[in-house]
Structure 1
Amino acid sequence: MKILLVDDERRIVEVLEAYLEREGYEIHSADNGLDALKKAKSIKPDLIILDLMLPDISGEEVCRLVRKESDVPILMLTAKSAEDDRINGIVMGADDYLTKPFSPREVVVRVQAILRRVKKAEKVQLLEFNGKKLVIDIIKKEVRVNDKYVTLTPIEYKLLTNLAENPGRVYSRMDLLEKIQDEGMYYEGYERSVDTHIKNLRKKIEQDTRQPDFIVTVFGMGYKFGGVLDAANTPV
């Protein structure tokens, strides 16, 4: 994984490079804000370690400009220890904040923790069930059944993702109706309208609608998702 280290104190850069490279990271460095912005575009790092006190433009400004184009994780380094400064850094888009002086080992631990969180978040962007018979791409809002794309209405997609994100959980019709209403689609309490959408959804994703694998009826209660999450998607 590539890390862009932005700091104008050469000693800090050298020490952190040594510690991070020992952990297997590929390190690129910049000693000013403008160079950092150029490298952020060209290198496309997996994480940026960003000092706020830079000789040209501030680290805050670098963070703001990076955030306009990328959601790359940012760990801020600064001599500012006031609570308002830390809060301001997080509000601007930093994922974590570390004040100087710091231990290089703590920087490594913070980097590893941030990247673990990112990896977990990425895992839930692609939900795969029953040996990839059903694949839901949360980012692209696409659904594939047996490797073929299916077209769902916004309501069908919302129902499917809410069920699939919580396999085995039983949702009443009212629960599902509220999920639809969160999207600004109001049905004035017509719970049975959910049945119609479920019926249409099953036609698109089930091999046998009479014996569904994914959208399962729980008699007298509502519906649950019966698909089995593939091992590659299981959180560790």
Structure 2
Amino acid sequence: MADRFHEGLRSQVAFVTHTRDYRSAEVLPSLARHGFTTTERPHDRETERLLAQFDPDLVVLAIDPRHDDDIALVRQVARACKAQIIVVAPGPHPHGLALALEAGADVCVRDTDGGEMFNAQLGAILRRKTSPIEQEAEDDGPSTITVRDLVLDFDRCQAVRNGESIPLTPTEFKILAYLAKNAGKVVSPVEILRAVQDYTYSEREAQEIVKVYIRRIRRKVELDPAEPSYIVNVRGFGYMLERRSNRRDAVRASEAA
């Protein structure tokens, strides 16, 4: 299965653009090893046009998320294409990583993590992009999970509420799916990121990053994101996908992230 998996990746395209100097020797060889054809260039006014031209499967942005213009670039790329976005940022700056995720990044890697971590995060992304044949071969759970009027279809990687599809990014879907598989159970931010990214963040980093993702998912799933009834925060412990329409008094009293 591993050979078929990598065979299927050889036609994929990665678009790498940067607003700052970065260690390309830790990024470009890793993309090549994973079967990507890569286009790499500095960010300029042509970036959006080239994204449309190449229609990449993956975009890597080497930026500094502490700068407003760089955050705007993440937002621009997220609007311009459907590719997954990896941000390579100077670190450690948890707030900057959170801003990049809020703008539309799927994964953030710090320069200080080194090439091994970039390679591991890239591998984690690709392992979750299984083909339909591989999905049929897997038998580790139901193909759908229903929580109240929210349905998660794992074959299509799609969330539906009241018959209407919810436009989730791949990482948002993975987080919601993990919560659905553990519906009624509180899971910590560290557990959530370990499950969807194969990497263990510090507790502080995980809290900042998951808070951003939960905010984005609530905007799409909740009828009133300010008063969430699906994804609830249990202060000091983590998040839970509530199975019941009427939340417990303890959960009702907890604050939204």
- Higher-Rg member (1/2): 1
* TM-score, with structure 2 as normaliser: 0.43
* TM-score, with structure 1 as normaliser: 0.46
